């Protein structure tokens, strides 16, 4: 059988979704009794349903495939074989538990990768070597040519191509890998899997810290059935990770682009809340005071607007209704209308519905909102359970009210100056005398010295002002933000990285010199 027929056979095999259709698996092994991987999958199906005798028989037929995955020989007792020959396998496959689903995806990832991910504590200390994979690769059916490598320090990073796709994984690693390696399109040849650091309580994800780069996958330009995996995180493979300095640049650019996407999406939602309809033009988001939602839009945001508008009109506000994957457009998918943040650097594309990454989660899907914790004297900007920024603030103790508010006004240089009591930016809360604003008393940050307002350092308030539109929800309370690493005060991005604050261009008139502000400073 030539390579083309081999590839067609594999495609037909997976089109029937063998993981959900054991009847097809049984028929397949009957028609292809030499297909050891099919025997192995059928055996795992039986094992997951407690039919150990039948499973043992299938594992024996799987031979070296079973041995490669299970690290042991398959043994079938005579009495078990007799039972198998006498009893017709059950066709009931509708009621499976979660454990069954987990092994199916685990087997798929292993089938595609033959990657070494230890399944017991005893294996953790044994770092993989080339021989670990040589044995497994030797047993791979000829239909599939997948290469997995355990990276040594001397191995250089994969030569990622332009159009690298970024996946944000928050689920089963094997399932994530399977979807990365078997995409439904051929628009890209490289991908990266990343995730954020969780807070100690496990409820929040610290987006404002560096993302963990778990691994990279590159498909062959000449043979789309062949992929190479490179590990960048030692906890993922228990191996010597590759140098991630080059791919870290790609991930950081993608992280910043995701922030621009959620700012744009939040502003469009805010416009709809204020007017009852979505904006038809991007410039409607940067109208002059008092309708100013944002001071301006970056080139990336301008390029994202048309596609995002279509998606919102279709009822897809950033996620597919079935998969939960991102539909926030990336300018890399339509680079003609966008200006790269860093010319000469590679582009990154986020997963979107209809592609293999559709069940992989994508970050920053929820509108931006603000939480202010009176106990911790911190203000955090969040999107769902992602903490995007974490700033220190000054409060007024019991004078600072608790409850739910919205930003109803945004003004630049309140009272006509940037160095007054309210600093260079101010945002009114629910048309009251309470506001989030700057201060000319930086020593008051972290203390209860205001008359009730929320004080911020200049660089911090200026960044927050650029990110949140009017209509942003604000919640003030106690014990409402996570215990997590704090950003350094006054550096403009709540991360201790002053070189990368979010900054929107000034494209409108958002000052109000005719009004004297009397917020409760």
pLDDT of 295-309, one tens digit each? 999 999 999 999 999
Task: For residue range 46-86, list pLDDT tens digits in order.
Answer: 887 878 778 888 888 887 767 666 544 444 444 444 444 34
- DSSP codes joined into one string, 142-210: TT---EE-PPPTTSPPP-PPSSEEEEE--S-HHHHHHHHHS-S--S-SEEEEEEPEEPTTSS-EETTSP
Q: What is the chain's mean pLDDT, rounded? A: 73
Q: What are phi and psi of 407, to 5 degrees?
A: -80, 120
Active-site residues: which are they? 437, 453
Residue 324 clears pLDDT 50, i.e. is over it: no
The distance of Cα 153 from the centroid of its chain, to the nearest Å, equals 27
The CATH number of the structural domain formed by 368-477 is 2.40.440.10
State the DSSP code for 357. Answer: G
Residue 126 clears pLDDT 50, i.e. is over it: no
Q: Are 468 and 456 in contact (CB under 8 A)?
A: no
Tokens of 463: 């960044």
Average pLDDT over residues 254-275: 95
Task: For residue range 380-421, list pLDDT tens digits in order.
Answer: 999 999 999 999 999 999 999 999 999 999 999 999 999 999
Task: For residue range 356-388, list pLDDT tens digits in order.
Answer: 333 455 789 999 999 999 999 999 999 999 999
Least confident of 97-111, 120-134, 202-216, 436-450: 120-134
Average pLDDT over residues 81-104: 40
Helix crossing, 52-62 with 36-48: angle to 10°?
A: 160
Residue 318 clears pLDDT 60, i.e. is over it: no
CA distances 457 to 23, 72, 379, 427, 475, Å, are: 65, 62, 12, 14, 20
Residue with the bigger pLDDT between 333 and 456: it is 456
What's the pLDDT at 173?
Answer: 75
Count, residues in the chain: 521
What's the pLDDT at 360?
Answer: 57
pLDDT band of residue 12 (cuts 50, 70, 90) is low
pLDDT band of residue 41 (cuts 50, 70, 90) is confident
Residue ranges, CATH 2.40.440.10, the chain: 368-477
Task: For residue range 128-145, list pLDDT tens digits in order.
Answer: 333 333 333 333 333 333
């Amino acid at each position: 059988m030539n390579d083309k027929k081999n590839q067609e056979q594999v495609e037909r095999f997976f089109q029937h979704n063998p993981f959900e259709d054991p009847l097809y698996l049984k028929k397949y092994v009957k028609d292809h009794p030499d297909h050891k991987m099919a025997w192995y999958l059928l055996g795992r199906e039986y094992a997951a349903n407690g039919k150990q005798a039948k499973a043992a028989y299938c594992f024996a037929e799987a031979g070296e495939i079973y041995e490669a995955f299970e690290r042991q020989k398959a043994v079938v007792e005579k009495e078990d074989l007799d039972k198998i020959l006498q009893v017709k396998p059950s066709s009931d496959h509708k009621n499976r538990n979660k454990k069954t689903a987990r092994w199916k995806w685990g087997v798929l990832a292993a089938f595609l990768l033959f990657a070494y991910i230890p399944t017991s504590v005893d294996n953790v200390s044994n770092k993989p070597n080339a021989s670990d994979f040589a044995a497994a690769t030797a047993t791979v059916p000829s239909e599939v040519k997948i290469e997995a490598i355990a990276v040594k320090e001397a191995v250089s990073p994969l030569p990622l191509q332009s159009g690298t796709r970024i996946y944000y994984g928050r689920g089963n690693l094997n399932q994530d890998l399977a979807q990365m390696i078997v995409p439904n399109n051929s628009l890209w040849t490289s991908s990266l899997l990343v995730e954020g650091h969780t807070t100690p309580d496990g409820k929040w994800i610290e987006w404002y810290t560096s993302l963990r780069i778990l691994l990279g996958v590159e498909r062959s330009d000449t043979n789309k059935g062949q992929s190479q995996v490179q590990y960048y995180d030692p906890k993922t493979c228990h191996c010597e990770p590759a140098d991630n300095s080059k791919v870290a640049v790609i991930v950081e650019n993608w992280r910043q682009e995701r922030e621009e996407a959620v700012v744009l999406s939040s502003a469009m939602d805010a416009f709809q809340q204020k007017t009852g309809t979505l904006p038809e033009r991007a410039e409607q988001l940067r109208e002059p005071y008092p309708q100013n939602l944002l001071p301006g839009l970056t080139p990336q945001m301008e390029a994202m607007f048309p596609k995002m508008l279509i998606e919102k009109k279709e009822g897809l506000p950033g996620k597919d209704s079935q998969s939960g994957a991102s539909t926030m457009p990336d300018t890399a998918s339509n680079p003609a209308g966008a200006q790269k943040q860093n010319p000469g650097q590679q582009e990154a594309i986020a997963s979107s519905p209809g592609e293999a990454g559709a069940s992989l989660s994508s970050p920053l899907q929820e509108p931006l909102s603000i939480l202010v914790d009176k106990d911790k004297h911190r203000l955090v900007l969040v999107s769902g359970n992602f903490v995007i920024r974490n700033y220190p603030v000054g409060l007024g103790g019991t004078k600072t009210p608790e409850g739910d508010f919205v930003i109803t006004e945004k003004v630049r240089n309140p009272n006509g100056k940037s160095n007054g009591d309210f600093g260079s930016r101010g945002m009114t809360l629910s048309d009251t005398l309470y506001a989030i604003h700057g201060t000319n008393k930086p020593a008051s940050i972290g203390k209860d010295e205001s008359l009730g307002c929320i004080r911020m350092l200049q660089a911090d308030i200026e960044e927050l002002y650029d990110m949140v539109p009017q209509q942003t929800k604000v919640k003030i309370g106690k014990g409402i933000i996570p215990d997590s690493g704090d950003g350094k005060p006054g550096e403009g991005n709540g991360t201790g990285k002053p070189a990368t604050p979010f900054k929107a261009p000034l494209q409108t008139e958002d000052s109000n010199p005719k009004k004297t502000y009397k917020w409760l400073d």
